[in-house]
Amino acid sequence: MKIKESAEDYLESILILKNKLGNVRSIDIVNYFDYSKPSISVAMKNLREDEYIEMDGKGYISLTEKGLAIAEKMFERHTLLTDWLISIGVDEKTAAEDACRIEHVISEESFEAIKNLKK
């Protein structure tokens, strides 16, 4: 099953926030994206139903094994693509924005080729 681009972004954001804050709640994701609480609530419900995240009784969100795998993949792509774009002269803000779009559509073959350039 193909996961939606927005779901990949949410999973990546949970990983980033977990690394930054330690614990993640829906409100942290609301603030991260500057989206409405209802939008994030629906997104978290869908991620929970698809078994990408778990939520405890206090509302803390954790990634399941399959959620973590996707989050780490997106984070690696985003980081490497951003750095690569900066290294070829793209300004930092544009590089980060473009990397966010590219990370969802780039083939594994092309990503690995760019990754090997960085070595």
Q: Are 77 and 103 in contact (CB under 8 A)?
A: yes
pLDDT at 30 over 70: yes
What's the pLDDT at 117?
A: 85
Quote the pLDDT of residue 1: 54
Q: In the Cβ-directed half-sphere of 7, how many Cα atoms lie within 13 Å? A: 21
- pLDDT score recorded for residue 119: 63
Sort strands 61-63 and 53-55 into parallel, antiparallel or unpaired: antiparallel
User: Stretch 10-28: mean pLDDT, rounded?
Assistant: 96
pLDDT tens for 57-104 read: 999 999 999 999 999 999 999 999 999 999 999 999 999 999 999 999
Tokens encoding 80: 């490497």
Residues 6+ apart with CB under 8 A from 54: 48, 61, 62, 63, 64
Quickly state the pLDDT bin for 118 (edges 50, 70, 90).
Answer: low
pLDDT band at 16 (very low <50, low <70, confident <90, very high): very high
Q: Which domains does the chain have, with CATH numbers?
A: 5-69 (1.10.10.10), 72-117 (1.10.60.10)
